[in-house]
Amino acid sequence: MKKWLVAVLFGAVLALGACGAGDDNASDDTGTDDSNGGAVESAAGEEVYKANCAACHGADLSGGAGPDLAEVGSKYSQAEIEDIVTNGKGSMPAINVAGEDLDALTSWLSEKQ
């Protein structure tokens, strides 16, 4: 019984740790090159999502430990999403994403409707 409890707690710690993990070695190039339109910025937002959010919210935004984000843009504005990412909400901890990465992430999520 104790081994099962330890395994469950270890799994929970791994999942929560992955939700807040950032890539400190990421380049500052977030792809705001206007020659490709919004496609590059959208790709940058998706990459930030994969690195910081997918562990809890699912690679396809379908949810998991965190809620489904497939239609988050219809529920929250970009500014509201930024506030949730920066400060956390409910059981979601604040995520350490800032600057152009935060802008790319929140812009990408706000388009999900």
Compute CA distances 101 → 2, 14, 36, 62, 80, whole Å.
Answer: 41, 23, 18, 22, 16
Within 13 Å, how many C-alpha atoms sit on residue 73's CB side?
11
Binding residue per annotation — 19? no
Is 92 annotated to bind ligand? yes
Residue 89's φ and ψ, nearest 5 degrees, are -160, 130
Query: Is residue 57 part of an annotated ligand binding site?
Result: yes
Which residues belong to the annotated binding site?
Answer: 53, 56-57, 92
Which residues belong to the annotated binding site for heme c?
Answer: 53, 56-57, 92
